[in-house]
Amino acid sequence: MIQFQIWIIIGKSTRLRNEIRKFSLKIYKIISKFLLLYFIVWCIMTMSTKKEANDREEERLR
């Protein structure tokens, strides 16, 4: 009987560990998608700022 109870506890902790892993993986995917989106937006903003600066510099040199 004690062995059976131990196996139930081990099974529950393994199931809990698997649930934690699944949850962690979901959180990781959400965060990585957010960071990728942020990086893309940052690149676009940086490029547009550099283009504007180059345009201003060209106008100043004329």
- What is the C-alpha to C-alpha distance for residues 20 and 14, in angstroms, rounded to an integer? 10
pLDDT tens per residue across all 62 residues of the chain: 556 666 566 666 777 788 888 999 999 999 999 999 999 999 988 888 877 877 777 777 77
Residue spans of the domains in the chain: they are 9-62
The confidence score (pLDDT) of residue 27 equals 93
- What is the C-alpha to C-alpha distance for residues 35 and 32, in angstroms, rounded to an integer? 5
Question: What is the pTM (predicted TM-score) of this model?
Answer: 0.58
